[in-house]
Amino acid sequence: MRIALTILAFLALASVPLWLRDPYLLNALITTGIFVIGAMSLNLLLGFTGQLSLGHIAFFGIGAYVSALTSLGFDVGLPGDLRLVHAPWPPIAGFVLAILVAGLCGYFVGLLSFRVRGAYFVIVTISFAEVVRLVALNWVELTQGPLALTNIPSIALPLPGFGEMTLRTKMHNYYLVLVVALIAYLLIARLVHSHFGRAMRGLMENETLAVSVGIDVTRTLTIAAVISAAIAGAAGSLYAHYIRIIDPEVFAFINTVTMVIMVISGGKGSLAGPVVGGLIFGLLPVALRPVMAPEAQWIAYGSVLIAILFVLPRGIVPSLAQRFSRRRSNAPALAPVALTETGAKEPA
Amino acid sequence: MTARNIAMTIDQVAVRFGGLVAISDMSFTVGEGEIVSLIGPNGAGKTTAFNVMTGFLTPSAGQVTYQGTTLTGLKPHEIADLGLIRTFQRTSVFPNDTVYHNLLIGLHRQGRVRLLDAILGLPGARASERKLRQKAGELIEWVGLERRAHDLAGSLSYGEQRLVGVALALAAEPSMLLLDEPVSGMNASETHRFVELIRSIRDRGITILLVEHDMPMVMTVSDRIVVLNYGRIIAEGTPEVIRNDPAVIEAYLGHGAASA
Ligand SMILES: Nc1ncnc2c1ncn2[C@@H]1O[C@H](COP(=O)(O)OP(=O)(O)OP(=O)(O)O)[C@@H](O)[C@H]1O
Ligand SMILES: [Mg+2]
């Protein structure tokens, strides 16, 4: 049932470029897709471990800059007459490095903050994002500072035997984002359904009990932070090679807020939540643009969010799923269940 | 007492909370496969002793050794990894998960697979999942909660939640089990069943340290009893010895009977 819905949704999304030719809308869908990946990564922390990363955009931005710099090359001076020179590499290498470097940053942020949790993690992540933004702004020799890194090459996929295929068109990029989003979705789904996912759940529900049965808090949360940051880094890399220009504004706090809104409205702790919330809040600007000034749009965002949470307090996906299952279980009287070897429900 | 290998040694442990002395100089040992009860009036320091043994509290002085390992400085999950597992005095379950999923979380120690194997769904990880599901089912059956397997743990009765707590502890594969007032909130027949359960746990070779106010139960089930009063051990011995010890009658039954 759930799997069928997921496949159906994926096929529907995959068909979009076949009937939607409008480049403006396709562009909106691509950037939305990139932010959906970011929101999914945020949900892994917020929804499945309960840790709020309010500097999540840092990992996204680091991914963007690492990928851009890897593919553009750089030549910067270091203290003591040293120079660090890097010749341009293919963008695909930038994509891989973006994932690794962002994941590493997630590891250090986790290491710094998970000994004491809660508010401490929120503060460390906010500070981290601000520090990274300041570096991007002021290390002009490396990042061009506010002048932005420009002419970032599009991603080219190596096709064995055929050379490579540069993803220039919107349709190419749409499918690239869709495939990466699918991989991220499946990765997170596998993770949360594995025994790591259960450890995360246990910690969120009752930490004292969880550690008493042998669950290592620091390790579990750090794994979640690394994977979350790595996925955000992948999204950032896609962003850099699609928009092809990035400046320190990418680290703006408002971008983290956007991702948090996507997660909360869609439903934190549900796999599909960030996708649904992300599509709504990613495409809302498109719908609002003809009728509203950009400044006023934030007010509309807030109103839509409040409206959603008023009707569906746990977010769209979990609230609807709950209503649906309640209606179903009301219909036939619940038969007593016996445990089979697989633990599935079975009438006794 | 017959000669057994010693499982746990509590050596001159003291715990102070600010000015309050919760435990002053406590020393005793628990032998492998033994059922030892730690009893005493409310506030005697029993739960505090459990917290020290399982790494939730650092003692102000002294140390606990389990199977040759000094526990000082170990985190609770590291102590759990030594096979020393506890239950909690207040009901403690994962309330928003079904009983069955509670057990799957509790089986963490037995379900460890490599992260990559789990993500890729490799055969090793899948076989481990199958094994866990089967074990979860067995444990639920063993504590007699089959009918509640797919209900949220938080929706269970007090007594049932205590059984879930014990099942969770067993899921963690203990070599020694610390039970903090497991039958409080259970009725007579539930308590009777629980005594059988404790015996069968011991028959699996698991050492048991029991904290309990239910005196008839303590007297039937224990090999040895340690009596604590105001953070100090006042008596130690077999149920017969303890039953007739004037200091115990004075300290424990004297004012504890009213509040127990
Ligand atoms: N975290 C704490 N901070 C301050 N005092 C504490 C703390 N934990 C326990 N105490 C005090 O230490 C003493 C021993 O408490 P403890 O919970 O170990 O008693 P107990 O023997 O388990 O009692 P009961 O039978 O009521 O469960 C009590 O006076 C209690 O108030
Ligand atoms: Mg107590």
Q: What is the 3-state secondary structure (H, E, C) of chain A?
A: CHHHHHHHHHHHHHHHHHHCCCHHHHHHHHHHHHHHHHHHHHHHHHCCCCCCCCCCHHHHHHHHHHHHHHHHCEEEEECCCEEEEECCCCHHHHHHHHHHHHHHHHHHHHHHHCCCCCHHHHHHHHHHHHHHHHHHHHCHHHHCHHHCECCCCCCEEEECCCEEEECCCHHHHHHHHHHHHHHHHHHHHHHHHCHHHHHHHHHHHCHHHHHHCCCCHHHHHHHHHHHHHHHHHHHHHHHHHHHCCECHHHHCHHHHHHHHHHHHHHCCCCCCHHHHHHHHHHHHHHHHCCCCCHHHHHHHHHHHHHHHHHHCCCCHHHHHHHHHHHHHHHCCCCCCECCCCCCCCCEC
Give the pTM.
Answer: 0.88
Closest by Cα among A86, A72, A99, A65 to A239: A65
Nearest residue by C-alpha to atom 3 in ligand 1: B17
B158 Cβ below 6 A of ligand 1: no
Site to substitute for ligand 1 among B13, B17, B57, B227, most atoms within 8 A of C-beta: B17
Contact B108 A213 (CB under 8 A): yes
Strands across the sheet containing B6-17 = B20-31, B6-17, B61-66, B69-70
- Give yes or no for B154 touching A (CB within 8 A): no
Domain chopping of chain B, boundaries: 6-93+176-253, 94-155
Per-residue pLDDT of chain B (260 residues; tens, 9 = 90+): 456 799 999 999 999 998 899 999 999 999 999 999 999 999 999 999 999 999 999 999 999 999 999 999 999 999 999 999 999 998 799 999 999 999 999 999 998 888 888 888 888 888 899 999 999 999 999 889 999 999 999 999 988 999 999 999 999 999 999 999 999 878 888 899 899 999 999 999 999 999 999 999 999 999 999 999 999 999 999 999 998 888 888 876 565 444 44
What confidence score (pLDDT) does residue A348 get? 35
If you measure from the C-alpha of residue B29 to the centroid of ligand 1, how many angstroms do you get, rounded to a whole number?
22
Domain locations in chain A as residue ranges: 2-329+336-343
CATH class of A2-329+336-343: mainly alpha
Measuring from atom 4 of ligand 1, which residue has the nearest CA?
B17
| Residue with the two structure tokens 């003291």 | B14
Environment of ion ligand 2 (residues, CB < 5 A): B 46-47, 89
Please name the member of A191, A215, A216 whose beta carbon is closest to the beta carbon of B119: A191
Residue stretches of chain A with pLDDT short of 70: 1, 116, 327-348
The residue whose C-alpha atom lies closest to atom 22 belonging to ligand 1 is B47
**Which pLDDT score, from 0 to 100, does residue A333 have?**
40
Please check whether residue B20 touches A, CB under 8 A: no
The correct answer on CATH 3.40.50.300 for the domain covering B6-93+176-253 is yes
Sign of CA dihedral A321, A327, A332, A337: positive
Interface-testing mutation among B94, B103, B112, B128, with chain A (most A C-beta atoms within 10 A): B94
Which of A34, A20, A47 lies closest to A272 in space, CA to CA?
Answer: A47
